[in-house]
Amino acid sequence: MTFKLPELPYAYDALAPYMSSETLEYHHDKHHKAYVDKGNELAEKAGLAGKSLEEIVIASFKDKSQQGLFNNAGQHWNHIHFWNWMKPNGGGVKMDGKLENAIKDSFGDFATFRGKFVEAGLTQFGSGWAWLILNGEGKLEIMKTPNGENPLAHGKTAILGVDVWEHSYYIDYRNARQKYLEAFVDNLVNWEYVAELFAKGPLKLAA
């Protein structure tokens, strides 16, 4: 077994009213579990079962014959982080000073960052993710990707990401993706985890 479904780092009802226990039960117990199960099956078939998740994401993204494995491994990586990118009583502007400075330095002010992050999630047509990434020059940038794709596959360092697949918001927000994204930034983001990833610096990947 290469991939393992992690436990949620909080109770199913801990993120209400911004994300309901019904959403978390389906999203974690059904959707994430399906990526883990299918990913294990396909990693085994591809002879990659002994590799790390990061190695499998990168290798399967490069090899177009492994699209199915990439979709599931990418989504496994995305969701492991996504659960940690949220916490009860999260969001807002209170965060580590170095991270706060990097946001101001990169976007001008927090409101501009918030607007661009929400816009990226809103304009990702169909399923996908919006990201805050740390580039090699220490600046932060916004990125969006379709389906299971992520910054890691492109050799980039994600420090925050939000799932904009309908399964992440349709129970609580129906079609109002913007309201979901605003609630994510204002009430859910675990800035401690973002600061932890920011402090690690850009990914060092073997060439």
DSSP states of 49-108: TTS-HHHHHHHHHH-GGGHHHHHHHHHHHHHHHHHHTB-TT--SS---HHHHHHHHHHHS
Q: Spell out, one character per residue from 136 to 175, where the chain touches Mn ion: x when CB under 5 A holds, - when not.
A: ---------------------------x-x----------
When the beta carbons of 2 and 78 are compared against Mn ion, the nearer one is 78
Number of Cβ within 10 Å of residue 96's Cβ equals 15
Q: Is 38 helix (H, G, I), strand (E, B) or coil?
A: helix
Residue number, nearest CB to Mn ion: 163
When the beta carbons of 2 and 23 are compared against Mn ion, the nearer one is 23
When the beta carbons of 28 and 114 are compared against Mn ion, the nearer one is 28
When the beta carbons of 61 and 165 are compared against Mn ion, the nearer one is 165
Number of residues lying near Mn ion (CB under 5 A): 2
Under 8 Å between Cβ of 165 and 173: no
Q: What is the binding site for Mn ion (CB under 5 A)?
A: 163, 165
